[in-house]
């Protein structure tokens, strides 16, 4: 009788082990959508949090995020010397990950606005002369308009 109880208890344990082995090891944590959202807001703090995470991607490997980027695609990454490359990388991150989550359409307007805000921050934060800052802001508007229409 003791053997029968052991055998009966062994079946559920074996079943649980089989289920655990069948579960995908790369399943994203439940808060992945919250993290994605927090890194794709229009604020400077969201941008800074994204850059910190991008610099430490290994800590986020379990989330299954797509970090790949072609930066500003077929447009210059640093037009006229304005460093737009990280703004483009964050925009790519948002596009790629919301597409993978099947939530792109609902988030595209915010992602494009986020991109524009990031570009304007580039223009505001480098101490450019008023003429150079105006050129930077003009390019920022051009990049934003392009992704809004074509992205």
Q: Which residues are catalytically annotated?
A: 91
d(CA 151, CA 144): 9
Contact present, 29 and 63 (Cβ < 8 Å): yes
């Amino acid at each position: 009788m003791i053997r029968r109880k052991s055998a009966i208890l062994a079946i559920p344990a074996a079943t649980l082990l089989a289920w655990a082995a069948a579960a995908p090891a790369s399943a994203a944590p439940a808060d992945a959508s919250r993290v994605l959202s927090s890194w794709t807001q229009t604020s400077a703090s969201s941008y800074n949090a994204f850059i910190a995470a991008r610099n430490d991607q290994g800590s986020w490997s379990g989330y299954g995020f797509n970090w790949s980027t072609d930066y500003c695609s077929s447009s210059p990454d640093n037009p006229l010397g304005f460093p737009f490359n990280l703004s483009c990388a964050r925009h790519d991150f948002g596009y790629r990950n919301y597409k993978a989550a099947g939530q792109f359409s609902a988030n595209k307007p915010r992602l494009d606005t986020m991109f524009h805000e990031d570009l304007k921050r580039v223009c505001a934060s480098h101490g450019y002369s008023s003429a150079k800052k105006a050129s930077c802001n003009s390019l920022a508007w051009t990049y934003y308009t392009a992704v809004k229409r074509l992205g």
